[in-house]
């Protein structure tokens, strides 16, 4: 392998990231990176038919995400009963008004719960609605809404975890439990982000909040580990988060603000129940999946009666009609939601196309092979950063599994078929892959654009949102990479 090949391999991604740093739009950055990746692949001898097939597959994957992004924004526009009218720049609050506790619950419990049930970033839709109810909007609210992505490995009933378990030959219960333990670092970092963003607008925790938060998060992680082992990853996060949410709402049942929270949550709770029914009630799920369109071999088909997008739209319209909204108003809100979705949809297409073209050209495999040549036993250290990069590019932990799990499984000693310490290390590396890749979807251009649209942030605010939210997934990926290197050296 020549040095020039190694140098050129990361260039499409570096170009896209450089353009983002220069405050160019996500669409421009993604398309420029994809164009460079395609050019380098063709120069390297990749047949044009193979590249075209990779582009087609990427567009289909992007459509699956775009349909939910658009439907989620329409749902928010149609069904959300509360619109924030107070700007975060002028909102201040004392330490004892209870807002911190409500915002903590929205960002760290309710948002991840909704994301676990629905996936595709819908947790941010729920969280943004609750934040508007607290008078928060703009860039800081967008960063807080992104905290709903803390438990992406369990998003959409843990589909990414299940795919990773199959690709790397692990028991899903054990892999989910290991990922839950590793997620403790993500949740701890999320708490730091939450407090920093709220302190900037004068919202600070009470003394009892400062005492409650750490054991609450520790208990949540323990419950998540146990739920994965007992129930399996599909419903583990729902079980682990459901109880503290119920307790919190029960304790605050006499709080006047709980009425607003309950009113905001009503359509989202209905949506969650509907989506759970379409997935967990087997006869219903099979009937809804009966008609499916699969234009691309080897990729999931699109079953409109089962896909979350259709249920998002249907639930939103029903909720709006029950609230007394007239059809004309509903149509106006649908148009408004679709208008807000143009930017995140375009960013999704651009970056998923970049990821597909980049992978088709063999660049990730080149980087992994180059790393193996110099790692000196610390081979696994590359997995969390590569997973994070994949999550950033695609906004999907399923795509992370597809792109990175085969590379991780091919590393020396990463096979799950052996026993003893080697099998345990392989399980932990797979868990690190899930957590690093899942958390990085938080700062993918499509998630950032979606959060900005939900919280009313301007297009010019995306740079600020990225600057405030990126340190968390980067720090987690680097720390997990260091832990993986130590595990590789000791193993």
In the numeric block, which tokens belong to residue 453?
Answer: 């649209």
Give the integer Cα–Cα distance in Å for 461 and 343: 13
Give the integer Cα–Cα distance in Å for 140 and 1: 45
Q: What is the pLDDT of residue 468?
A: 93
How confident is the prediction along the chain (491 residues), in pLDDT tens digits per residue?
688 888 888 899 889 888 887 878 778 888 999 999 999 999 988 999 999 998 998 888 788 778 877 887 788 788 765 443 333 333 444 444 688 988 999 999 999 998 887 676 778 888 998 898 888 989 999 999 999 999 999 987 787 888 788 778 889 999 999 999 999 999 999 999 999 999 999 999 999 999 999 999 999 999 999 999 998 888 789 889 988 888 777 766 666 566 666 776 777 778 778 877 887 788 988 898 888 888 877 777 788 888 878 888 888 898 888 888 888 889 998 998 888 778 878 887 888 888 888 888 888 778 777 877 777 667 788 889 989 988 888 787 877 877 787 677 766 655 555 555 677 888 999 999 999 999 999 998 888 888 888 888 877 788 889 999 999 999 999 999 999 888 777 76
Q: What is each CA distance from 307 to 184, 310, 367, 458, in whole angstroms?
A: 31, 6, 35, 30
- How many angstroms from the chain centroid is the CA of residue 77? 21
In the numeric block, which tokens belong to residue 214?
Answer: 């750490």
Spatial contact of 353 and 34, defined as CB atoms under 8 Å apart: yes
Residue in the structure block whose two tokens are 């658009």: 70
- Tally Cβ neighbours within 10 Å of residue 365: 14
Q: Which residues fall within 8 angstroms of residue 118, CB to CB, at 6 or more apart?
A: 155, 156, 271, 272, 275, 308
DSSP code for 462:
H
Q: What is each CA distance from 35 to 39, 51, 457, in whole angstroms?
A: 6, 11, 29
Identify the domain containing residue 291 by its residue range: 3-490
Give the integer Cα–Cα distance in Å for 161 and 170: 10
Spatial contact of 423 and 42, defined as CB atoms under 8 Å apart: no
Alpha-helix runs per DSSP H in 99-137? 99-105, 111-118, 122-133
- Tally Cβ neighbours within 10 Å of residue 197: 23
Q: What is the pLDDT of residue 95?
A: 47
Q: Which residues fall within 8 angstroms of residue 65, CB to CB, at 6 or more apart?
A: 120, 348, 352, 395, 396, 446
Alpha-helix runs per DSSP H in 252-307? 256-280, 282-288
What sign does the CA torsion over 107, 439, 490, 173 have? positive
Task: Please give the radius of gyration of the chain, using alpha carbons only, rounded to the nearest integer.
Answer: 22
Spatial contact of 12 and 363, defined as CB atoms under 8 Å apart: yes
Burial of 4 (0-12, 13-18, 19+ CB in 10 A): exposed
Q: What is the pLDDT of residue 148?
A: 93
Q: What is the pLDDT of residue 347?
A: 80
DSSP states of 14-54: HHHHHHHHTT--HHHHHHHHHHHHHHHHHHTT--HHHHHHH
Q: Which residues fall within 8 angstroms of residue 2, CB to CB, at 6 or more apart?
A: none
In the numeric block, which tokens belong to residue 88?
Answer: 């975060």
Q: Minimal CA–CA distance to 186: which of 224, 233, 138?
A: 224
- How many angstroms from the chain centroid is the CA of residue 141? 17
DSSP states of 176-215: HHHHHHHHHHHHHHHHHHHHHHHHTTT----HHHHHHHHH
Encode burial over 73-99: b for 16+ CB neighbours within 10 A, e otherwise.
bbbbbbbbebebeeebeebebeeeebb
Give the integer Cα–Cα distance in Å for 335 and 48: 39
Burial of 59 (0-12, 13-18, 19+ CB in 10 A): middle
Spatial contact of 118 and 275, defined as CB atoms under 8 Å apart: yes
- For the chain, the domain total comes to 1
């Amino acid at each position: 392998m020549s040095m020039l090949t190694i140098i050129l391999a990361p260039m499409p991604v570096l170009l896209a990231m450089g353009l983002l740093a220069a405050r160019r739009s996500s669409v421009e950055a993604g398309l420029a990176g994809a164009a460079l990746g395609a050019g380098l692949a063709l120069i390297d001898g990749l047949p044009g038919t193979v590249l075209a097939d990779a582009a087609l597959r990427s567009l289909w994957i992007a459509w699956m995400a775009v349909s939910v992004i658009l439907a989620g924004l329409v749902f928010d526009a149609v069904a959300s009963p509360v619109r924030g009218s107070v700007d975060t720049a002028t909102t201040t609050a004392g330490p004892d008004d209870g807002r911190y506790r409500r915002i903590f619950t929205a960002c760290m419990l309710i948002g991840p719960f909704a994301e676990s049930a629905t996936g595709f970033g819908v947790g941010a839709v729920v969280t943004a609605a609750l934040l508007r109810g607290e008078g928060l909007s703009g860039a800081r609210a967008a960063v807080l809404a992104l905290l709903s992505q803390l438990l992406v490995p369990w998003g959409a009933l843990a589909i990414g975890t299940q795919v990773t378990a199959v690709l790397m030959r692990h028991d899903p219960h054990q892999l989910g439990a290991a990922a839950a333990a590793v997620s403790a670092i993500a949740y701890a970092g999320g708490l730091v982000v939450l407090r920093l963003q709220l302190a900037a607008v004068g919202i600070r925790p009470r003394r009892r909040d400062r005492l409650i938060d750490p054991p609450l998060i520790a208990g949540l992680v323990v419950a998540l580990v146990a739920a994965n082992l007992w129930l399996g990853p599909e419903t583990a996060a729902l079980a682990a988060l459901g109880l503290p949410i119920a307790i919190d709402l029960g304790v605050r049942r006499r709080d006047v603000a709980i009425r607003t929270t309950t009113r905001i949550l009503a359509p989202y709770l209905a949506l969650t129940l509907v989506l759970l029914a379409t997935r967990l009630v087997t006869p219903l799920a099979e009937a809804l999946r009966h008609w499916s369109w699969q234009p691309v071999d080897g990729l999931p088909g699109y079953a409109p009666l089962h896909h979350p997008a259709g249920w998002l739209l249907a639930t939103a319209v029903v909720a709006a009609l029950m609230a007394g909204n007239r059809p004309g108003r509903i149509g106006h809100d649908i148009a408004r939601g679709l208008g807000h979705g143009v930017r995140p949809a375009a960013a999704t297409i651009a970056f998923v196309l970049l990821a597909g073209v980049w992978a088709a050209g063999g660049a990730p495999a080149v980087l992994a092979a180059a790393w193996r040549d110099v790692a000196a036993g610390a081979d696994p250290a590359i997995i969390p950063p590569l997973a994070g990069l994949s999550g950033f590019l695609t906004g999907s932990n399923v795509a992370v599994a597809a792109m990175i799990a085969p590379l991780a499984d091919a590393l020396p000693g990463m096979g799950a078929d052996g026993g003893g310490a080697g099998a345990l290390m392989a399980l932990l590396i797979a868990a690190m892959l899930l957590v690093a890749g899942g958390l990085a979807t938080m700062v993918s251009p499509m998630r950032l654009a979606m959060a900005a649209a939900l919280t009313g942030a301007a297009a010019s605010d995306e740079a600020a949102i990225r600057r405030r939210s990126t340190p968390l997934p980067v720090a987690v990926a680097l720390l997990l990479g260091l832990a993986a290197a130590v595990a590789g050296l000791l193993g």
